[in-house]
């Protein structure tokens, strides 16, 4: 399923998934498009401009937070720290849902 930017922003409640700010927002590909990343909900996340820049200038730390993934990774299987879910990391599902990582194990 290809997700639109608006669907991803709605899923993330029009907030940056990393810091919670409300704008201006980018829809970020966890696997970069240049590396074959697709427009699928589990690969897309909403980030504000400063956090989006941070991801690309701090790739190792961004990987630890689940915000940047290697080329052949399944984004649906890698948890991400998300401001809407303070209880812990979540999986982003193809159905535009969140799955608490602790419940998925």
| pLDDT per residue as tens digits for the range 57-99 | 999 999 999 999 999 999 999 999 999 988 889 999 888 888 7
Measure the CA–CA gap between 42 and 93, rounded to whole angstroms.
Answer: 5
Q: What is the pLDDT of residue 105?
A: 64
22-31's contacts with Cβ under 8 Å and 24+ in sequence apart are: 23/48, 24/48, 24/49, 25/49, 26/52, 28/52, 28/55, 28/67, 30/66, 30/67, 30/68, 30/69, 30/75, 30/78, 30/80, 31/69, 31/70, 31/71, 31/73, 31/75
pLDDT digits (tens, 9 = 90+) for 20-67: 999 899 999 999 999 999 999 999 999 999 999 999 999 999 999 999
Q: What is the pLDDT of residue 63?
A: 96
Measure the CA–CA gap between 53 and 4, rounded to whole angstroms.
Answer: 21
Length of the chain: 105
- pTM of the full structure: 0.91
Measure the CA–CA gap between 60 and 40, rounded to whole angstroms.
Answer: 23
């Amino acid at each position: 399923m290809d997700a639109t930017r608006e669907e991803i922003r709605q899923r993330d409640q029009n907030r940056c998934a990393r810091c919670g700010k409300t704008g201006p927002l980018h829809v970020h590909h966890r696997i970069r498009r240049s590396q074959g990343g697709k427009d699928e909900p589990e690969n897309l996340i909403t980030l504000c401009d400063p956090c989006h820049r941070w991801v690309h200038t701090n790739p190792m730390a961004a990987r630890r937070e689940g915000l940047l993934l290697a080329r052949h990774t399944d984004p649906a299987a890698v948890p991400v720290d998300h401001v809407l879910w303070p209880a812990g990391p979540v999986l982003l599902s193809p159905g535009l849902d969140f799955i608490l990582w602790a419940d998925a194990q």
